[in-house]
Amino acid sequence: MSIHALNARCTVSYRREILENGKVVRTHRNTKNLILDSGMDMIATVWWHELIRYCHLGKGITPTKRTPGDGTLFRYLAATPNQLRARKDGVDTSFFAASDVGRMMRLDSGLECRITGYTSAAVVTVNVTKGGGVDHVDQVGTIYHVEQTRLDDHLRQLDPDNSLDNSAVWDGPTSTWRYRHTFLGPVETANVAYTEIGWSNGDPNKLFGRDLIPGGGDALTPNQRYRVVVDLYVTIDTAHHDVDAPGDGIADLTGTAGVEDIAYFHPGRDWHLFLASGAEATTPLRDPASDVYGPPGDVSDSTTNAHQPYVSGSYRCVLGWQFVGGENGLGKNGIRAVGIWSGWYWYGNRCVYRVILDAPFDKAPFFTLTIRFVFSWGRILEPIA
């Protein structure tokens, strides 16, 4: 058995405009939007562009974050890696609530953690997800209310306007996809104020993200329209990596791995694994932005999958395949490459990710070979403007 991981990081921003008689009368700068836990789970099955398929507007006022404004700072010590303290003027101070359990917290020094337990108003237990192993002393911190799933008071749902910018753009230097939807509301017939906003793939009670609109919201008068441009950024590690995957019952597999077709990189696709042999199997890894059809070389596809069910809150999909004992054709000249491809309707099969092995290996007919790939993803927690 060999394991290799594929990772993605996601963030959302949006821009609001108010139009009157077809002209922009007020515009606001881009604002970062919090991705909720419900949205993180959706990534396992919903394709990137569909995560922000609908825009939801409301008049609620429940915040998506909480930052102390009274001089309270936070202390995390590597010696007590599961504990976070609120401090003020050199002593413990009250800040936390029991309802904070399950929420995410970020310190400006870069520590990110999930609050797992409430000890007191000054002390909570945490599971560090980023920045652990070092001390973070007297830092400004923000709690993110990632447990939210819906707007407080839903007023309107908007579909993308097909006459406007609804695009997907790949930026090679930053290894980032930008998925954009542009929403245009109807001409208002009465005064209305929108104070909260969110995104979903159709269910208003299961949002991908939510935010309180800055400045107390946007007030529209009759004959005005609301336009919202939302961007989902997905950053994927496309660099070529050396692989040293430990084997269980076989030799460790070493080689070079990389993404070959970034357009089809998503954990929820219809995945297949291939083993390739022959000279073509070791051709250089292709540019991730290229239009790649099919895996190279003489290919054997697995007949049995061993995928693990997605576990809510794990933010990882474990894809597994088995080549059972009696299968033939597993590399006439030894297996030279391992990879995954995705079938996509009339566009054909796409080779998304390939590992070129340093040396071929053979599978004896009486063995079962199991190979697993792990897709994982995370949100970028940054101070929300």
* pLDDT given at position 255: 83
Helix/strand/coil for 345 = helix
Quick: pLDDT tens for 217-259.
Answer: 999 999 999 999 999 999 887 776 777 666 665 556 788 888 8
Could you tell me if 100 and 375 are in contact, meaning their C-beta atoms sit under 8 angstroms apart? no
The identity of residue 164, as a single letter, is L
Domain extents for the chain? 7-63+149-235, 65-144, 239-379
Could you tell me if 135 and 77 are in contact, meaning their C-beta atoms sit under 8 angstroms apart? yes
3-state helix, strand, coil in the chain (%, to 5): 10, 50, 45
DSSP conformation letters of 237-281: --S-EEEEEPPSSSPPEEEEEEES-GGG--TTS-EEEEEEESGGG
* pLDDT given at position 385: 44
Q: How many CB atoms lie within 10 A of CB 107?
A: 21
The candidate with the shortest Cα–Cα distance to 209, out of 25, 365, 54, is 54
Quick: pLDDT tens for 100-154.
Answer: 999 999 999 999 999 999 999 999 999 999 999 999 999 999 999 999 999 999 9
Could you tell me if 95 and 75 are in contact, meaning their C-beta atoms sit under 8 angstroms apart? no
The identity of residue 325, as a single letter, is G
**Does 5 or 380 have the greater pLDDT score?**
380
Q: Which CATH architecture best describes the domain 65-144?
A: Beta Barrel (2.40)
Could you tell me if 360 and 333 are in contact, meaning their C-beta atoms sit under 8 angstroms apart? yes
Quick: pLDDT tens for 33-91.
Answer: 899 999 999 999 998 999 999 999 999 999 999 999 899 999 999 999 999 999 999 99
Q: How many CB atoms lie within 10 A of CB 140?
A: 15
The candidate with the shortest Cα–Cα distance to 51, out of 251, 225, 208, is 208
The candidate with the shortest Cα–Cα distance to 8, out of 47, 34, 38, is 47
Rounded to an integer, the average pLDDT of 349-368 is: 77
Could you tell me if 136 and 33 are in contact, meaning their C-beta atoms sit under 8 angstroms apart? no
Helix/strand/coil for 301 = strand
Q: Which two tokens stand for residue 32?
A: 């970062």
Q: What is the CA radius of gyration of the chain?
A: 24
Q: Which two tokens stand for residue 68?
A: 């102390």
- Sorted by sequence, the CB contacts under 8 Å of residue 21 that are 6+ apart come out as 223
Compute the C-alpha angle 341/344/347, nearest 5°. 110
* pLDDT given at position 208: 97
CA distances from 82 to 107, 132, 243 (A): 15, 10, 32
Helix/strand/coil for 37 = helix
35-48: string of b/e by CB count within 10 Å (b at 16+)? bbbbbbbbbbebbb
Quick: pLDDT tens for 252-263.
Answer: 678 888 887 777
Distance CA 93, CA 88 (A): 6
Lowest mean pLDDT among 31-40, 79-88, 306-315, 321-330: 321-330
Could you tell me if 240 and 70 are in contact, meaning their C-beta atoms sit under 8 angstroms apart? no
In this prediction, what percent of the chain has a pLDDT beyond 90? 55
Quick: pLDDT tens for 174-220.
Answer: 888 999 999 999 999 999 999 999 999 999 999 999 999 999 999 99
The identity of residue 297, as a single letter, is G
Distance CA 123, CA 187 (A): 50
* pLDDT given at position 149: 98
pLDDT surpassing 90 at residue 352? no
The candidate with the shortest Cα–Cα distance to 195, out of 335, 308, 63, 367, is 63
- Sorted by sequence, the CB contacts under 8 Å of residue 27 that are 6+ apart come out as 15, 16, 17, 18
